[in-house]
Amino acid sequence: MNNKEIMDMAEQYVLHTYNRFPMAVDHGEGVKVYDADGKEYLDFMAGIAVHALGYQHPAYNEALETQLHKVLHISNLYYHEPLALAAKALVTSTGLSRAFFTNSGAEAIEGALKAAKKYAFTRDGHAGHEIVAMRQSFHGRTVGALSVTGNAHYQDPFLPLMGGVRFADFNDLSSVEAAVSEKTCAILLETVQGEGGIYPADPEFLKGVRKLCDEKDILLILDEIQCGMGRTGSMWAYEQYGILPDILTTAKALGCGVPVGAFVLGEKAAKASLVPGDHGTTYGGNPFVCAAVAAVFDIFEKEHIVWRTRTAAAYLEKKLDELMAAHPEQIKAHRGLGLMRGLALAETCPAGKVASLALEKGLLIITAGGNVLRFVPPLIIESDDVDRAVAILEECFRELEA
């Protein structure tokens, strides 16, 4: 089937919840993808920060193929080796204590919220606790995750949502302090806000929130679904702040393409929260996805992926600064950490239009809130890839200026 045939069929039978770009991906290789008509694209969105290792990594594919010939799924009523290996790798990398595997990032958030509420229930002997979350955040589209997503655009059609949520301003410690009450059991935030516009947490803010949680026996939940797994130049973004969360959520690059997420608990939360019967999943942590997770961590270590990310990020940051300097009327700000970067564009230069024009020229790139062009490429990009992406964007901005 060609692009048009695939798009026409999908439009006829798939529920229209996405405004898709007009191309049908057929396959990928390295940091490139190819559509059903054979056109090549440089991928700087990586399935929205999923394909950290790019496409067709030999060791990754081998691990999945090996597991394919063993068993894909078995109930969580039984142990299996991929689960043990994946959990050990994840827990060791985070500095936390216990992991629970889910099918998605939204489910990881749901589990983290339940763990926090159960921790407070165990501590206080009653329910009725609250969560403090951040405005302009994004945590997923299930009801619980949507309830802690601080953006009316996502919430309003589905009200009423889960109660007991108070919102504070990201990077404003006094706002968080004002939102905390005797009912607060957890503070939830993204270490780097992604969908909200690529805003890293200020060091003083994040350390202040950690201190507040310690003083009031509140659990700190860090959502690193997008910014974790080496994306910011450290395995976990919070490492750059010198703190540990009580609960971490992760997904996306955790499986580098297979649908898997996780929430990871520190010892305090693990000892006094979820017990058998409190939480579960049919598919979460099955042998196939855990084989992928274990392979990802192994590849990250053997191929020094985090170190390579820092090198690529420094070059991308430099080239985006140069692009901004060349187009000051269109590009108003450049921010981010590592290979999670954003260009905030002027109102007269819609980010969606730039992304569409870039697609025509062979570059996949996406947007974020606040008219931001978002860069979350595979972590294996080289300087030549950055040069090509920036050259395409240069063409786009010049055409839009004309």
Other Cβ atoms less than 10 A from the Cβ of 26: the count is 16
Per-residue pLDDT band at 12 (split at 50, 70, 90): very high
Domain ranges of the chain: 3-56+304-401, 71-302
Q: Which string of DSSP letters, residue by residue, matches 154-178?
A: HHGGG-S--S-EEEE-TT-HHHHHH
- Alpha-carbon separation of residue 293 from 92, 250, 259 (angstroms): 13, 12, 10
Could you report the per-residue pLDDT of 150-161, keeping only the tens digit for each?
999 999 999 999
Query: What is the third-level CATH fold of 71-302?
Result: Aspartate Aminotransferase; domain 2 (3.40.640)
Query: What is the third-level CATH fold of 3-56+304-401?
Result: Aspartate Aminotransferase, domain 1 (3.90.1150)
Per-residue pLDDT band at 401 (split at 50, 70, 90): confident
Other Cβ atoms less than 10 A from the Cβ of 133: the count is 25
Distance CA 261, CA 259 (A): 7
Q: Let me know if 244 is exposed, middle or buried by CB neighbors in 10 A (0-12, 13-18, 19+).
A: middle
Sheet of strand 363-364: strand arrangement = 25-29, 32-35, 40-43, 363-364
Could you report the per-residue pLDDT of 191-219, keeping only the tens digit for each?
999 999 999 999 999 999 999 999 999 99
Helices (H), 18-103: 46-49, 58-68, 81-94
Q: Quick one: which of 326, 323, 316, 295 has its CA closest to 376?
A: 316
Distance CA 264, CA 139 (A): 16
Kindly state the tokens that stand for 19: 């405004």
pLDDT surpasses 90 at 96: yes
- Alpha-carbon separation of residue 302 from 29, 249, 295 (angstroms): 20, 24, 10
Kindly state the tokens that stand for 394: 């240069």
pLDDT surpasses 90 at 329: yes
Could you report the per-residue pLDDT of 265-319, keeping only the tens digit for each?
999 999 999 999 999 999 999 999 999 999 999 999 999 999 999 999 999 999 9
pLDDT surpasses 90 at 10: yes
Per-residue pLDDT band at 402 (split at 50, 70, 90): confident
